Structure 1
Amino acid sequence: MIRRGKHRSLARAAGPVDDDARIMPLINVVFLLLVFFMVAGQLAASDPFEVEPSASAAAPEAEREGAEVLMGAGGRLALDGRETAEAALLADLAERMAAAPEMPLRLRADGQVPASDLVAMMRRLQSAGAADITLIMRPRKP
């Protein structure tokens, strides 16, 4: 037969419970959540190079499905987040357009790209089969 008094004396013999030890699991959980969100924040895909679109007075259009072409100021090009040469971009786009002719295409060009280069690229994209090209611009600040 075990006495209750004996169990109590064993608990006291182990020493007083440290208040810091009680909050350690909470600190561990908060730290793990912090690490999780830091890692999860890095998983978002970023563009291969920075593009600052021109300003537009029109209302912003909602994002649509389809492909996106980035056009950098130095003539750099990317298709759906992959930097590529112009010939490869047009060939890949022509393949996609042959498979899905109604696929919309978004063109996001840097504000420093000359308008003549932008129009020439839009013509080349049309010749690759893109019928629906949307030029992405940032809203003009009032």
Structure 2
Amino acid sequence: MKLTRPARAAQSETIIALIDVVFFLLIFFMLIGRMDATAPFEVSPPHAETGRDMPAGGITLAVSAKGALALDGDDMRPEDLPDVLSEHLQDNPDLRLRINAHRAAELRNVLPLVSRAQQLGFRDVVLVVTPETGG
């Protein structure tokens, strides 16, 4: 008796390998592509100056980690700040304002102070920073 094997069915072409390649290419281009918008003009960010002495003169505005304010060591309500700064500026138009913010202070509590100082007429606003130690 002769046994015959059943005929093999023709293998259908699988596209699974092609799908894998497409996903790999998609992930590759997502990882190397720029996802941020670029400006239509050149932008050169400023350089922080560290290792220099703090500029002398002026007044110091301290910002706590929770956003509380103190001007030259005296507690200050945020709504009183513009009037007090304007009074100081009237006495000395070239007055320098130093903003000394706690490292945990939120940026939303610090940046409006710089903008407000500019609106009031301060020409020189210094943001106090602590340089990182290398080690």
Q: Fold match, TM over 0.5?
A: yes
Instruction: From 114, 117, 123, give the equivalent of 1:125.
Output: 117
CA contact (8 A) 1:106 1:136 kept: yes
* Shift in Å, 1:114: 2.2
The 3-state SS of whatever aligns with 1:78 is strand
Map of 2:108 onto structure 1: 116
* Shift in Å, 1:99: 1.9
Which of 1 and 2 has greater Rg? 2
Map of 2:94 onto structure 1: 102
* Shift in Å, 1:89: 2.0
Q: What letter matches 1:133 in structure 2?
A: V
What stretches of structure 1 of length at least 5 have no aligned partner? 1-55
* Shift in Å, 1:116: 3.5
Length-normalised TM-score, structure 2: 0.58
Can you list the C-alpha shifts for 1:110-139, whole angstroms capped at 9, x where unaligned?
111222332112111222222210011112
Cα distance in 1 between the residues matched to 2:55 and 2:124? 14
The 3-state SS of whatever aligns with 1:91 is helix
Q: What letter matches 2:62 in structure 1?
A: L
**Bigger RCO (CA 8 Å, 6+ sep):** 1
Cα distance in 1 between the residues matched to 2:79 and 2:109? 16
The 3-state SS of whatever aligns with 2:103 is coil
